[in-house]
Structure 1
């Protein structure tokens, strides 16, 4: 197996690893200020972690080279064949080396490793190539020197003929190496293939950019959604005014910061249609209904997306899903982000997230880290002696035992803490534990019975939690990640597809003096928590508003796949792809008798802010 051809290939790929390491060193040196908050050990660990991304990029780029290097037939050491291999190797890798060199400076403009945005500005680069080369001459010189050295030290085949293994052995070797290449591209045996968000598992989070390499992020960005900028408003000041947003509103709180616990419960697929408290008692959630009678259930609440993977950015960071691709898997996933976990962790909170599915499912564990969640509890962390008996056979741990486990673990956290609990039993195929089958109403849809079970599991969680020392000092925020199938015609419309429950509950405080009829949305949750705790910050995004604010009637925004929709209490504004505005009444969705220019301007401002701030990595431009 370890014949001359194989050793040559390993040496050549090893040369690439050295080049990628050198490029990471240069990237670190040119952007040192970005990583100044990290100590030497953390920086070294990010270099080690980066090897995983280097191997993945090299494996993707050099698949053909590896195949032809280990071709099972013929003399692969022939001088002519080796010359072809050399130029395949050079011409394949040099463009990506150039990309990494360019990113040394380009990173300073966009604040993240280059993705597919480079494809959209190729024309501009071509037009300005002269002045760019003049200004960044040192990058061009460095690239030329590196390329020259790369070609010069390329490992050459021996001049003397060397024996090669039998064809069957070479074929078997190629199959084994192909499997290893696939493993390298995936980044390991984990549930989901390697992606840029996996780099952001260290503290400080900025080290994720050092861990990554530009060829990897560029390749991963190919085919992903690229947002086109909008310019409805000329300046940042005009945009903020149109957004009706004051970034400093929560910067200087007049009241004392109250360090109470916060628990956010995300109920899988709990559409508003299934909740009795939102439908005159007709539903499948008797316990959630009872909580609503003691807390504050918003009658007009909306998810900012239609999928589970779209819910976490909205709920934990105030980023609604306003593009065809989820934020978690988009080219902008590595953008600067201050999640609710980050804000509370910096204020002395311990932060955690619980989800009983396999670690890596939908990228939740990686995004939780990005949002400032210190500890993630997934299927891997669930007690191994209970895992088999409590497993639902499809997704993870049944809700009842998992929420009991979460209750125990919450008691082990230091107060104050912020925790997110995400259920899963009401997900297709809607499995019910054997001992509970036939206990809950079947309803008209397959999901209805599992909603009843999940509601029961929630009841048992609150029953055990109420006995814990942290319970009375905790604000609970309960909502659903998205809607599901519908049988009620009242929900079978553009608004009904996004309507979910959103409940604020505190065991020792009454919240019923607030307006339950205001429009609410997932993106309001970070602002609401910050407002409730009187936490000073200027790191909130303009999409959300505090639900405790009695001065407004609220709003919700979402993307339905064809248009952007802004829901206000008196009007629904819709912005089409051609920038045309249409207005409807709320909640009937009948054509509005007259235009609502203020709602239209607000919708345009939110879309411009979302698109331009993601493209430029300036979500918090007022802090610059």
Structure 2
């Protein structure tokens, strides 16, 4: 089975691994300033981690070559056949080697490895080909040298090898099947829950090392078929754009006074639509504990999620990035863009940062994104005590909320202070399983989710009762919200706004929060700015989509994309921008057509969309 054909294939693929590592070294040297703050050991780990992405790219690019090299029928060592294989090898790898070399310089402009945006600038490349060749002549020279060297050192069979006896057909067939399985595993990146994707590269600090770990063929292949955002030109200058958004970079400079060192706990409740919360519906709901907590904190009655899926919630809540495209940011072509998450900002103030989610590690890419957002430690189902896992597993998704939140409370007590923790619950997720001992304990309501909402609310109560006994509790700001809405039975929520309405509660057990109008419009993307404002942190790394909820001079807004149009919700008007740039206006909150137009709202919505699209495409979400 391990005959000359397989040995040749391994030598040829090994040569490619060496070439990919050489290209990574060139990329590192010519973009050294990006990675300069990383230590030698961490940089070396980034290089070694890159082998995983090299395997995926090389196997994907050379799958046809591998198949033909081990074809079970005929004499694959025949000189003519081998010459054809060599041409397939060179032609398959040629465009990806070129892409990797182009990225050495292109990275300086876009701040990430190339994806499918290459398709969008093909016309520009053709038009500017002459001056590009003149300016970047050394890349063309390097490309020519690499291709020549690749053809020159390509391992050959030799005259005697072509006459060697090959294994019989069935043995070669079995070998090909085994190799094919290995290739699929390599392209997938292993046996983990989700296939390998660019965000998996960002596991080291500083996060910029993720770009060194990646290779351009991998990011390009992953970008194929993904929708690219269209750049907008509603405003021709940055000043006009910022004025329309009512945003000034650096506006969140710290006020006079010390930085607070309070802990921050963000609780994201699975599927807790505002419709289920009694405090938001004249006492009619399934959340008695959350209702009681609302009397001691600030519950915003007009709060919105920035998306409709769990995977869309985390970027909004932890980084202020709303979901304004068809694909979630976590899996989009822009997932490797520069992001300054709340965890990153708090780490700069020596906060310990962590995220807890009782589901399988890798679920929805939360572990990877939270790391991008500055979360130092991720606690998933793998970290839950093994001796408890069997009894506490819900049979579907992960650990039941009650035992998991008790586990979280104990972990937080062991943390170095101050800390920021994000906790994502899961029991109120379809199929809405609750522990057998609680069956018939909570109101079943009219929808199957209602009973599990009651259980999750009870688990939340038990968490707060446990946390209240811990020394960190009275020095902690709690922010409670839901990831998205769910099934609806109340006609008041069966409309465009109702599909996004979630609870959003600020609570501090020992500090009196500022007097704030609870009717102001709030959204997930406001949470980073609110934490920064509350702690009085100096930073210019907040995005313009959100505002501090503690600023009572601002009436608030929420923005989301419903798959067909962009919607901006403000206290006095709702503006809707369709694909053809037509804008419609509605009253808030009954969504009746507005009798008058609101040009300022239309301009603001267009400005926010332009800022988002162009910032994503050009990897320039933050002003320098």
Place the TM-score, normalised by the shorter chain, in its bin. over 0.9
| Alpha-carbon distance in 1 for matches of 2:560, 2:258 | 34
For the 8 Å contact 1:267–1:424, the answer to whether it is kept is yes
| Alpha-carbon distance in 1 for matches of 2:387, 2:72 | 48
Q: In the alignment, what sits opposite 1:115? A: 115
Q: In the alignment, what sits opposite 1:271? A: 273
Q: In the alignment, what sits opposite 2:174? A: 172
Q: In the alignment, what sits opposite 2:474? A: 472
Q: In the alignment, what sits opposite 1:10? A: 10
Matches within 5 A, 1:160-559: 160=160, 161-511=163-513, 513-559=515-561
Q: In the alignment, what sits opposite 1:75? A: 75
| Alpha-carbon distance in 1 for matches of 2:461, 2:363 | 26
CA drift at 1:455: 0.5
For the 8 Å contact 1:296–1:512, the answer to whether it is kept is no
| Alpha-carbon distance in 2 for matches of 1:377, 1:171 | 44
Name stretches of at least 5 consecutive residues in structure 2 with no aligned partner. Answer: none
| Alpha-carbon distance in 1 for matches of 2:239, 2:186 | 47
| Alpha-carbon distance in 2 for matches of 1:409, 1:482 | 27
| Alpha-carbon distance in 1 for matches of 2:395, 2:88 | 47
| Alpha-carbon distance in 1 for matches of 2:452, 2:527 | 26
User: Normalising by structure 2, what TM-score?
Assistant: 0.99
State whether structure 2 residue 63 is matched by structure 1 residue 63.
Answer: yes
Q: Per-residue CA shift, 1:398-445, capped at 9, x if unaligned?
A: 100100000000011111100000000100111111111111111111
User: Normalising by structure 1, what TM-score?
Assistant: 0.99
| Alpha-carbon distance in 2 for matches of 1:146, 1:251 | 50
Q: Per-residue CA shift, 1:265-293, capped at 9, x if unaligned?
A: 00000000000010000011111101011
Deviating more after overlay: 153-162 vs 323-332: 153-162
| Alpha-carbon distance in 1 for matches of 2:544, 2:183 | 44
For the 8 Å contact 2:254–2:536, the answer to whether it is kept is no
Q: In the alignment, what sits opposite 1:589? A: 591
Tell me the number of residue pairs that the alignment of Structure 1 and Structure 2 aligns: 622
Name stretches of at least 5 consecutive residues in structure 1 with no aligned partner. Answer: none
Q: In the alignment, what sits opposite 1:85? A: 85
CA drift at 1:509: 2.2
CA drift at 1:127: 1.1
CA drift at 1:512: 6.9
| Alpha-carbon distance in 1 for matches of 2:436, 2:245 | 51
Q: In the alignment, what sits opposite 2:19? A: 19
- 1:523 is paired with a residue of what secondary structure? helix
Q: In the alignment, what sits opposite 2:42? A: 42
Q: Per-residue CA shift, 1:501-546, capped at 9, x if unaligned?
A: 0000110123372110000000000000000000110100000010
Q: Per-residue CA shift, 1:242-263, capped at 9, x if unaligned?
A: 1111221222422211110000
Q: In the alignment, what sits opposite 1:136? A: 136
| Alpha-carbon distance in 1 for matches of 2:209, 2:587 | 48
| Alpha-carbon distance in 2 for matches of 1:511, 1:11 | 66
CA drift at 1:579: 0.8
For the 8 Å contact 2:514–2:550, the answer to whether it is kept is no
For the 8 Å contact 1:265–1:477, the answer to whether it is kept is yes
| Alpha-carbon distance in 1 for matches of 2:378, 2:329 | 20
| Alpha-carbon distance in 2 for matches of 1:13, 1:563 | 48
| Alpha-carbon distance in 1 for matches of 2:550, 2:492 | 28
| Alpha-carbon distance in 1 for matches of 2:516, 2:253 | 23
- 2:303 is paired with a residue of what secondary structure? strand
Query: Which consecutive segments of 4 or more residues in structure 1 shift more than 4 A?
Result: none
| Alpha-carbon distance in 2 for matches of 1:125, 1:512 | 55
Q: Per-residue CA shift, 1:34-53, capped at 9, x if unaligned?
A: 00000111111100000000
- 2:142 is paired with a residue of what secondary structure? helix
- 1:294 is paired with a residue of what secondary structure? coil
For the 8 Å contact 1:294–1:510, the answer to whether it is kept is no
